[in-house]
Structure 1
Amino acid sequence: MPTNKKESFIFGLMMCSGMVAVMASYNLFVIGTVEELTFHTVLIEVMCGFVLALLLDLFVVGPLAKKITFALPFDKSKKLLVVLNISAFMILGMVFFMSLFGLVMTYVGQGLSEYSMLGMYGTIFIKNFILALPLQLLVMGPLVRFVFTNVIQKNKAVVH
């Protein structure tokens, strides 16, 4: 996996690109506004979401997920356990923050509804978690790790 800051940034870009693209599309369909929004509006919201997700990944959630994982009492030589733990904490943290972002964007775009903000947040969180967990663990995580190790890191070895 990433061995330095540059590789961490590239890995984060790849992961955030995939996750934000799928999760943003999913959320547009879930709230039923995909037909009502203009391309410009969707582009702005997705770009804001991508920038926020990348910043959270690199500076808040990512480091915290790693810190928690390496503080847990399990055999760290088992790489699969390390990856699964980091991924699980990343999913929880990113869904927590990005659901808040989604709530704010919904509020800005549609205003308050008859539901409480806490109730709306809980609903958004659960719906996002239901998709983010398998998406990260079964699709994006393995795909990005495969591409990263076989394209990015392999090309780095060829250049040197």
Structure 2
Amino acid sequence: MKKRIVTAFVLNQSGVLNRVTGLFTKRQFNIESITVGHTETEGVSRMTFVVYVEDDRQIEQLIKQLNKQIDVLKVSDITDQAIVARELALIKVLSNGQTRTEINGIIEPFRASVIDMSRDSVTVQVTGDTEKVEAMIELLKPYGIKEMARTGLTAFPRGTQKSVTELKQYTLFK
């Protein structure tokens, strides 16, 4: 199975997320992660999906099906491009006075931070690529992870690749 990162620009309207994810369900794709948020273009949102496929034919078919959706403006498989990709995780770890110093020592090289503290736990915030987040989680597991929330991957091409100007022009004509 190959990991693929797909972005879709969609109209920011009620029901779009449901219709798009329904298409994944019909095609029996399991969405590993999904992030959705506003873009710099008013009324347009970006969806970033991480999916696993058996071959390139499957991802091509998925992109064709997504492009047929009326609320979808543009779809791209950005896996093989130079991309900027980040994930956010909040991790609540069991801790006491003795282990807090150890936990701070662990999170410092990751440029993570403690964002909340109670008598028996600390909440750590870490951002970065998925491998960095996974490494942080593995190092904190021995202390006892009480709760965790992850955003999933969000990404777009680096530099001047696939200019957003194309999207602005595209939205006027679709």
Q: Output the TM-score relative to the length of structure 2.
A: 0.30
The structure with the largest strand share of the pair is 2
- Taking structure 1 as the reference length, the TM-score comes to 0.32
Task: Return the structure number with greater helix share.
Answer: 1
Which structure has more RCO (C-alpha within 8 Å, separation ≥ 6)?
1
The structure number with the bigger radius of gyration is: 2
